[in-house]
Amino acid sequence: MTQQNTTTSSAKLARDGFTSSFGVLAATLGSAVGLGNIWKFPYLTGANGGASFLLVYLLATLLVGLPVMISEIMLGRAAKRDAVSSLKILAPAGQPWWLIGAFGVLAAFLIMSFYSEVAAWVFAYVFKAMGGSILSSDPAVTSAAFAALVADPVQSLLWQWGVLLFIGGILLLGVSKGIEAVTKKLMPVLFLLLIVLGVRSLMLPGAAQGLSFLFTPDFSKITAGVVLTAMGLAFFKLSIGMGTMITYGSYFKDDQNIPLTTLRVMGADLFVSMLAGIAIFPAVFSFGFEPAAGPSLVFITIPAVFASMPFGHVFMVLFFVLTAIAATGAMLSILEVPVSVMVGRFGVSRPRAVLFTLLLLAAIGSTCALSGSLLADFKLFGLNMFDLFDEVSSKLIMPAGGIALCLFVGWVWGFDRMRDALSNHGQLQNEGLLRALFFVIRYVTPLLVLLVMLSGLGVF
Ligand code: PHE
């Protein structure tokens, strides 16, 4: 018994994790905030009706995002293991809940495949912005510049591999010295840059129209498909339903207040999305762009916006640097899922796990990098690989993972264990709140996600 206790506690001591409260917050927020806020949120909001979409997204964040995120972090911290092992040891023997973690690993590869390509465009744009080659107030010029990048297979691949090497390098340094140290430095810079840009955009002539697009709802735009898109965005944004938050939860400190940290992360994440919307939509209207332009929105509007303002060159470099920063924190957390599983379950050394993940990703990811060029006509279910991986992860794997997690916590793990875990073994007085949360996790969230998935996918 004593022998076993000593082994367990020294194994826990040896495991790398986040070292300070601010570090926990920076890394978790670093995972949530990313291209989802600056690239996906604006273009999806633009394409799906503006404010009404925003409203559905907010509801999804509260009713689905919050309970799932708290559950994941809680399970990770309770088990202190990777996403697969955590569910293996928390679940009764023989029950296959660990599949949530396994599908999480799959989702990590799918997401990272297209995510690293968007990040590749962002990193490329940092350098192009510095050189001034993409700066033009003529939308035709900025669209052509973006189209040229996407259609160039060599550039697309090389930038993607460059991004992968960069992220791999940080991951090699470990959890506290890599992920935590880097996000702690970068997140404050990100907030500062975004505020500067938001203020600048609000001073543009067309600002009012952009704001009213973002804040006046048009309920006729809400369809079952739009609701699923909004919910998928909530999963994607909060990095939930695929094991990232289980993994990060396992690095949380024991005295960290999980519900409060989750609320803070959600609030800050929303704030960043709103700031990104405020920086982009006024500009879109001011320059007569189409708000429903799709994934290329950020890459063609932003350069045009900056081209026509004083010190635009500097602002544009700042914008893409900040987007690169946001993407970095998120990519670290996506890759940490497979890396930690390889280390935790298969006993592979961290450097080998990182290397193996990168190689596999370079292979799978290249199908997304080439989706705009050599593989443009290669389609499954009518979608190229880039769009397919995006849809499958946000609309299938993550919501299904969310349902499974809620069912596990609500029906298998149970209230007593949840209360113990979320009150830090009785140190926090939050019983009333936890009872309400448990009810939502047990009934509301899983049912809601199921309904949205089935209707959004056209089952009824
Ligand atoms: N939340 C990240 C973003 O918004 C993306 C992400 C998805 C990160 C899933 C981790 C896991 O960009």
Q: Which helix (H) or strand (E) holds 133?
A: none
Phi, psi torsion values for 380, nearest 5 degrees:
-125, 135
Phi, psi torsion values for 123, nearest 5 degrees:
-65, -40
For residue 41, which atom of ligand 1 is closest to its CA? 4
Query: Which tokens go with 201?
Result: 């955009």
Q: What is the pLDDT of residue 361?
A: 95
Q: What is the pLDDT of residue 14?
A: 65
The helix/strand/coil state of 380 is: strand
Cβ atoms 452, 231 nearer than 8 A: yes
Which residues touch 335 (CB under 8 Å, ≥6 apart)? 108, 112, 167, 168, 171, 354, 357, 361
Rounded CA-CA distance 273/32 in Å is 11
- For the chain, 460 residues long, give each residue's pLDDT as a single digit of tens: 344 444 444 444 468 999 988 889 999 999 999 999 998 998 899 889 889 999 999 999 999 999 999 999 999 999 999 999 999 999 999 999 999 999 999 999 999 999 999 999 999 999 998 987 788 878 788 888 899 999 999 999 999 999 999 999 999 998 888 889 888 888 888 888 888 888 887 887 778 888 888 888 888 889 999 999 999 999 999 999 999 999 999 999 999 999 999 999 999 999 999 988 888 887 778 777 777 777 788 888 778 777 777 788 888 888 898 899 899 999 999 999 999 999 999 999 999 999 999 999 999 999 999 988 888 888 889 899 999 999 999 999 999 999 999 999 999 999 999 999 999 999 999 999 999 999 999 999 999 999 999 998 888 7
**Rounded to the nearest whole angstrom, what is the distance from the C-alpha of residue 136 to the centroid of ligand 1?**
31
Cβ atoms 215, 51 nearer than 8 A: yes
- What are the distances in angstroms from CA 399 to CA 13, 118, 323? 34, 23, 26
Q: Which helix (H) or strand (E) holds 157?
A: helix 153-172
Burial of residue 398, with CB atoms counted within 10 A of its CB: 0-12 exposed, 13-18 middle, 19 or more buried: buried
Rounded CA-CA distance 154/170 in Å is 25
Cβ atoms 402, 240 nearer than 8 A: yes
Rounded CA-CA distance 362/230 in Å is 29
Q: Measure CA 159 to chain center.
A: 20
Which residues touch 88 (CB under 8 Å, ≥6 apart)? 97, 98
DSSP E strand boundaries for 142-247: none
Q: What is the pLDDT of residue 205?
A: 79
Q: Whose CA is nearest to atom 11 of ligand 1?
A: 239
Q: Which helix (H) or strand (E) holds 53?
A: helix 51-60
**Rounded to the nearest whole angstrom, what is the distance from the C-alpha of residue 99 to the centroid of ligand 1?**
20
**Rounded to the nearest whole angstrom, what is the distance from the C-alpha of residue 35 to the centroid of ligand 1?**
8
**Rounded to the nearest whole angstrom, what is the distance from the C-alpha of residue 334 to the centroid of ligand 1?**
7
Provide the residue type at 247 as one letter.
Answer: T
Q: What is the pLDDT of residue 13?
A: 46
Helices (DSSP H) in 93-152: which residue ranges?
Answer: 99-131, 139-150
* Sign of the four-CA dihedral 451, 454, 457, 460: negative
Cβ atoms 428, 257 nearer than 8 A: yes
Q: 143, 165, 123: which is closest to 365 by C-alpha?
A: 165
Q: Which of 41, 105, 117, 237 to mutate to test the pocket of ligand 1 (most atoms within 8 A of CB)?
A: 237
Q: Whose CA is nearest to atom 9 of ligand 1?
A: 239
> What secondary structure does DSSP assign to 310-340, as a single string?
TTHHHHHHHHHHHHHHHHHHHHHHHHHHHHH
**Rounded to the nearest whole angstrom, what is the distance from the C-alpha of residue 17 to the centroid of ligand 1?**
20
Rounded CA-CA distance 361/383 in Å is 20
- The predicted model scores a pTM of 0.92
Which residues touch 435 (CB under 8 Å, ≥6 apart)? 415
Torsion of CA 275, 276, 282, 288, to 10 degrees: 180
Cβ atoms 280, 293 nearer than 8 A: no
Rounded CA-CA distance 114/189 in Å is 25
Domains assigned to the chain:
4-456 (1.20.1740.10)
**Rounded to the nearest whole angstrom, what is the distance from the C-alpha of residue 34 to the centroid of ligand 1?**
6
The helix/strand/coil state of 383 is: strand
Q: Which of 334, 335, 396 to mutate to test the pocket of ligand 1 (most atoms within 8 A of CB)?
A: 334
In this structure, the residues whose C-beta lies within 6 A of any atom of ligand 1 are: 31-32, 34-37, 111, 236-237, 239, 242, 244, 330, 333-334
Provide the residue type at 18 as one letter.
Answer: F
Provide the residue type at 450 as one letter.
Answer: L
